[in-house]
Amino acid sequence: MQYHDYYKDLLAERWDHDHHPHSRRQRTLMINTSFQTKFLLQLGVVTFFATAVIYGLQSLLGWNLYASAFVGTVVFTYGGIFISAKIAGPVLKMQRHLSHLSKGETDPIHFRQGDYFSEVICEYNSLLENLERPSKLAPGEHPKLTLVKSDTKAA
């Protein structure tokens, strides 16, 4: 395929996408199904309990809707903070470890029990093990890289 044809096809595809908004590409919503399923279940539990608190306080104690909604919001917020800490904590820890890795420090990462993204940490620690292995290359020798050209077009 010549470069001219490639760019012509690319521009035609872009034009078609921009001018026909209903012909959008299909988006995958469940990218990391185990993480998203666990997250949605926990969010559902927090939402259920916040709603139950609002309903219970209103019907059992005779509280008005605003007071019940306030207490339910506090419950929902606390649950949201708890869940988000299990997400934000590991991401922050990973960011710090990557910063240390760029400075040459190669300590493995360990997460708390129940934190999200434990599979990423296994891969990171495996990478560190491979980096720490002595290289079989002679001093000053660099690994040979092979570039692979793909002629496949995006559908």
DSSP letters for the chain: --HHHHHHHHHHHHHHHHH-TTSPPP--S-SSHHHHHHHHHHHHHHHHHHHHHHHHHHHHS---HHHHHHHHHHHHHHHHHHHHHHHHHHHHHHHHHHHHHHTT--PPP-PPTT-S-HHHHHHHHHHHHHHHSPP-SPTT-----------PPP-
pLDDT at 60: 79
Whether the pTM exceeds 0.75: the reply is no
Q: Is the pLDDT of residue 135 over 80?
A: no
pLDDT at 155: 47
- Reported as a pLDDT band with limits 50, 70 and 90, residue 133 is confident
Q: Is the pLDDT of residue 146 over 70?
A: no
Q: Is the pLDDT of residue 68 over 60?
A: yes
- Reported as a pLDDT band with limits 50, 70 and 90, residue 44 is confident
